[in-house]
Amino acid sequence: MIPVTQATEIAALEGVRTAVAIGQTTDKGDGPFGIRFVDAIPFDEYSKLTGIRIIEGSKLTGGNQSLVDPVWMKEHKAKLPSSMQLFERTFNVVGVYEPSGGARIRDSAFHDAGRKSATGNATAILVGCLDPAQQDA
Tell me, letter by letter, the H, E, C secondary structure of the chain: CEECCHHHHHHCCCCEEEEEEEEEEEEECCCCCCEEEEEECCHHHHHHHHCCEEEEECCCCCCCEEEECHHHHHHCCCCCCEEEEECCEEEEEEEEEECCCCCCEEECCCCCCCCCCCCCEECEEEEEECCHHHCCC
* pLDDT, position 105: 92
Quick: pLDDT tens for 5-45.
999 999 999 999 999 999 888 888 876 778 888 998 999 99
Positions in the chain whose pLDDT score sits under 70: 31, 109-119
